[in-house]
Amino acid sequence: MKVSVVHIVFILIQVYDTINSELNFDEKVLLNRSIASSASDGYYRLSNYDFQCLRQLSICLTNGWSLKFRFRLNQLTAVDRERRFLLFSTGAHEPFGDGMLIYLHQSKNTSYLEFGLKEFRNDQFAYYWQIEVELEINRWIDAVTTIQEHVTKTGKHHRMALYFDGFPYKETQVENYTEVFVFKYSQVHPRSAVIYGTGSGIALFDKIVYYERVLTDEEISEGSIFFCFIFYAEQKNKRFLFSFTGKCSLRMYKTE
């Protein structure tokens, strides 16, 4: 198609979260950096008592839960050897805890984030699923994780899905797990969520909100920024309008 005239218009669509706290009655703030202080080692240690599903998967009364948060990965310094750095954990990094965690893996040639989900199999072993993620540095990213229980051929298992800036990224697959050793006790479990984040450190978390349910696509998109564009193409008195709207899905309209 020969295009005689092309007008390109860039549109920045800001989707605002217009639902106030009175309507979002089921959200609970886990971390707000403006009113919380980290310890001398750079970690926040926040009580998980009011966050039932986050505290322990087995006592969650719903079939799923969600975390919505802002995340920034700062400039990383070069290292001579491989290292793993804990950035976030609901308690899953402990041998007697389950749930979600985030590690930063760094080596001389590459760096990536590991989002992990740990689910007890019995008193000695747990299933562990992980998703490797490479994110931009020096930029705040709107992230959402959902943890939902699914019925499979081998029984009930949890599945984790990741969303960044309103877009789905990846979810765990039930069959792709590793087994890890645990020490599960019925009356013993982690009592705090551990979150790393200082202004001069390698990463920052802010505005972490907990929901005792799985968020909808519309709720996941709220507050995210989408860069979309619209352009017109004219040919032989026919005009075509291509538009990227909403989550930037492509639509084409023909106008006479």
| CA 85 distance to own-chain centroid | 18
pTM here is: 0.77
Question: What is the DSSP secondary structure assignment for residue 81, as one 8-state letter?
Answer: S
pLDDT of the residue at 223: 56
- In angstroms, the CA 7 to CA 1 distance is 16
pLDDT reading at 256 higher than 70: no
The whole-number pLDDT of residue 80 equals: 75
75 has pLDDT over 60: yes
Instruction: State the residue for tokens 């919505």.
Output: 68
Mean per-residue pLDDT, 55-73: 92
pLDDT at 178: 93
What confidence score (pLDDT) does residue 110 get?
81
Question: What pLDDT does 198 receive?
Answer: 66
Where along the chain do its domains lie? 1-16+223-256, 26-215
- The model's pLDDT over 168-197, given as tens digits with 9 standing for 90+, comes to 999 999 889 999 988 777 667 888 999 997
What confidence score (pLDDT) does residue 108 get? 77
Per residue in 88-127, pLDDT (tens digit) is 999 999 999 999 999 999 887 788 999 999 999 988 899 9
* CATH 3.40.1000 holds for 26-215: no
What is the pLDDT averaged over residues 44-62? 90
Distance of alpha carbon 136 from alpha carbon 73, whole angstroms: 7
Calpha distance 244→230 (Å, rounded): 6
122-151 confidence digits (pLDDT tens): 888 999 999 999 988 899 999 999 999 988
Helix, strand, coil fractions of the chain, as percent rounded to 5: 5, 55, 40
Mean pLDDT, rounded, of the chain: 79
